[in-house]
Amino acid sequence: MAVAVPIFSDAELEAIAFYAPHKNGTDIDSDELSLIERAANAAGGAYARFKALALRERVAELEAELQAVRV
């Protein structure tokens, strides 16, 4: 059985991770699926942190521009 796992950040779909059965033909078991889901949740958290960092950097840039215009 192949598995497609959505990765969400702040309720937005950021990516989809695809997993295929093992090379020997066995399916992904429930323990592996649980681990994959936990990894997807962690990846969603990482996306959220990267987006927050990018926004903070952009705010700092805009504040610097505004300060330059005010002088």
| Domain spans in the chain, listed from the N-terminal domain onward | 3-70
Alpha helices for 2-70 (secondary structure H): 30-70
Contact 22, 34 (CB under 8 A): no
pLDDT digits (tens, 9 = 90+) for 11-70: 999 999 999 999 999 999 999 999 999 999 999 999 999 999 999 999 999 999 999 998
pLDDT band, residue 71 (cuts 50/70/90): confident
